[in-house]
Amino acid sequence: MTNFLEKRPWAGRIGALLGILVMALSLRTAVSVVPPLLGELTGELGFDAGTTGLLAMLPPLLFAVFGLLTPVLIRRFGLEKALVAAVVLAVAGQLARAASGEVWAFLGLTAVIMAGYGIGNVVLPPLVKKCFPDRVGVVTAGYVTLLSVGTAISPQLAVPVAGATSWRVSIGMWASVSVLVLLPWILQFVRDRRARNDLALADQAAAARATAAGGASAAKAASIPEARLRPWRSPVAWGLAIFLAGNSAQTYVYFTWLPPYLSGQGVDAATAGSALAYFAILGLPVSLLVPLWVPRMKNPMVAICLFAACWATGHLGLYLSPLDGTWLWVTFAGLGQGTFATALLMVNLRSRTTHGSSVLSGFSQGLGYAGAGIAPLFFGTIHDATGTWTASFAMLGVCLAVMLTGGVMINAKRYIEDSAVAPLPLPPAEHAVDLKN
């Protein structure tokens, strides 16, 4: 698609909207469907403690790697082709994983799926920027909410579907959601073909008029290449990466350790599992609220501090009094997940262009998920080394401080394009070297 979409009414962009929303719904289903089935997978495929730990590390690890690689793919092939690559990897990996017969094949195919999802993570914000620059908050609210829905619904259906059929069907059926991503985009492409051709003709006519009016100056301006973005030189890019790393580290610790921690404190296994489901579900209201609320704020740090206070209350409550007020502490921690929706929203609020959004999305998610991948490992190993949970929860406090540091860096209204490296200007015509002589 081209930028003419941003000038069209909602009815002319319905395919793009549905494509973004279905893509968001599919991005976590294959991740969260596996943990409830691990008991059955252990008996049939031979999972042990080591391979289970590796399985838990694959999503953030692959999200990090492909977060950094995807902007290169987007720049070379375009957003649409990167989207198709993400869907193909996700569908092929899910179907093949459902048919795998041993643990290492299962892990390898999980890596393929996570590679597709890693591309999808990065592609979504610039797609919103490209197709809905006039409705960034609303569309972001929709897709972040559906991201949470996909995370919550697949583990809820995993065991019932496996009981009625098999674990292979329960795991593989989510490939159908990934396939559905392509359908609205195909409809959008077909619908826009004529509009794209009309726009191209109009642009050619406008360029001809501009050249006639401006002469050589207009032709020279058109030939100047765009500035190159260097995210590692951008305080905004580093701030968003640090913010996302601190946020995701806390989230992944909860998804990995909340049930075993509560069980170890005397909570029965069913209640501990329900507490995790409740934590995940609480991501829905804040995912819907944040993109509609934060863009209206002159100082987003106020919202960030509010969510950080929720995280801190949840951490302290679960550490000091895990049996008294368990659901209250999980509620606070769950509401703290508003920081994740804030991070995704800031990708577009701190970029001016679609290219800037893709670079900022890839850099921040790449480094952010890298930080998130090691946090659950440290949380458990620190407990094993010390014999208590004190140092482990202190680590969560460090993650919270890291997140707030990143929040301060992204609070000011500045953009990744501010740190662009301008390309060398073309030489004046009178000083150009004549290569023919």
Strand partners, 421: 228
Comparing C-alpha atoms, which of 175, 241, 183 is closest to residue 405?
Answer: 241
Say which range, 24-28, 60-64, 207-211, 286-290, has the weakest mean pLDDT. Answer: 207-211
Please give the pLDDT value at position 227.
63
Instruction: Please report, as a single letter, which amino acid is at residue 301.
Output: M
Higher pLDDT, 280 or 420: 280
Comparing C-alpha atoms, which of 228, 223, 208 is closest to residue 428?
Answer: 223
Comparing C-alpha atoms, which of 13, 281, 320 is closest to residue 138?
Answer: 13
Whether residue 126 is predicted with pLDDT greater than 80 in this model: the reply is yes
Please give the pLDDT value at position 433.
34
Say which range, 14-28, 180-194, 279-293, has the weakest mean pLDDT. Answer: 180-194
Query: In this predicted model, what pLDDT tens digit does every residue of 374-383 receive, in sequence order?
Result: 888 888 889 8
Please give the pLDDT value at position 5.
53
Please give the pLDDT value at position 4.
47
What CA–CA distance (Å, rounded) separates 125 from 147?
Answer: 13
pTM greater than 0.85 (yes/no): no
Location of structure tokens 């620059």: 133
pLDDT band (50, 70, 90) for residue 194 = low
What CA–CA distance (Å, rounded) separates 387 from 406?
Answer: 32
Whether residue 287 is predicted with pLDDT greater than 90 in this model: the reply is no
Residue 421, SS3?
A: strand
Say which range, 31-35, 173-177, 214-218, has the weakest mean pLDDT. Answer: 214-218
Please give the pLDDT value at position 329.
97
Query: In this predicted model, what pLDDT tens digit does every residue of 326-359 receive, in sequence order?
Result: 999 999 999 999 999 999 999 999 999 988 999 9
Comparing C-alpha atoms, which of 122, 165, 163 is closest to residue 27?
Answer: 122
Most confident of 103-107, 127-131, 287-291: 103-107
Whether residue 435 is predicted with pLDDT greater than 50 in this model: the reply is no
Handedness of CA 427, 429, 432, 435 (dihedral sign): positive
Please give the pLDDT value at position 204.
56
Count CB-CB contacts under 10 A for residue 364.
32
Question: In the structure encoding, which two tokens stand for residue 239, read together?
Answer: 């701030």
Q: Interior CA angle at 92 toward 284 and 107, to 5°?
A: 80
Higher pLDDT, 346 or 205: 346
pLDDT band (50, 70, 90) for residue 9 = low
Query: In this predicted model, what pLDDT tens digit does every residue of 72-102 receive, in sequence order?
Result: 898 888 888 898 899 999 999 999 999 998 9
Please give the pLDDT value at position 373.
78
DSSP for 175-224 reads HHHHHHTHHHHHHHHHHHHHHHHHHHHHHHHHHHHHHHHHTHHHHHHHHS
What CA–CA distance (Å, rounded) separates 151 from 13?
Answer: 26
Higher pLDDT, 110 or 221: 110
Mean pLDDT (the chain) is 83
Please give the pLDDT value at position 389.
94
Q: What is the mean pLDDT of residues 21-34?
A: 88
What CA–CA distance (Å, rounded) separates 136 from 122?
Answer: 16
* Element counts in the chain: helices (H) and strands (E): 19, 0
Higher pLDDT, 217 or 143: 143
